[in-house]
A = this chain, B = another copy of it.
Amino acid sequence: MGKVASVAILGATGYTGAELVRLLHGHSAARIDHLSSERFAGKGIAAAFPHLRGTGEWVYRPLEVERVARCDIVFCALPHRASMEVVPRLLAQGQRVIDLSADFRIRDASIYQAWYGDVHSAPDWLPKAVYGLPELNRDSIRSAQLIANPGCYPTSVILALAPLLTHHAVALSPILVDSKSGVSGAGRSPTQESLFAEVADGFRPYKTGGHRHTPEMEQELGRLAGSELVIRFTPHLLPQSRGILSTCYVRPDQHRSDQAWFELFADFYKDEPFVTILPPGEEPATHHVRGSNQCRIMVRFDSRTGWLMVFATIDNLIKGASGQAIQNMNLMLGVTETTGLEAIPLFP
Would B18 and A203 count as touching, CB distance under 8 A?
no
Q: How many residues of A are in contact with the other chain, CB < 8 A?
A: 84
Would A305 and B192 count as touching, CB distance under 8 A?
no
Contact A184 to B197, CB < 8 A, known contacts A55-B344, A178-B178: yes
**Is residue A180 within 8 Å, beta carbon to beta carbon, of the partner chain?**
yes
Q: Which residues of B contact A182 (CB under 8 A)?
A: 197, 201
Would B347 and A203 count as touching, CB distance under 8 A?
no
Question: Which of B289, B304, B344, B347 is within 8 Å of A230, CB to CB?
Answer: B304
Q: Which residues of B contact A3 (CB under 8 A)?
A: none
**A23 to chain B: closest residue by CB:** B344
Smallest CB–CB gap between A272 and chain B, Å? 12
Q: Which residues of B contact A200 (CB under 8 A)?
A: 196, 200-201, 239-241, 287, 348
Q: Which residues of B contact A192 (CB under 8 A)?
A: 188, 190
Q: List 13 A-B contacts (CB under 8 A).
A: A51-B290, A54-B294, A183-B196, A190-B190, A195-B195, A197-B241, A201-B242, A202-B286, A203-B240, A204-B245, A205-B284, A209-B302, A343-B343
For the complex of A and B, 10 pairs with smallest distance between CB atoms: A202-B287, A204-B285, A197-B348, A190-B190, A51-B347, A51-B288, A196-B199, A178-B178, A232-B305, A51-B345
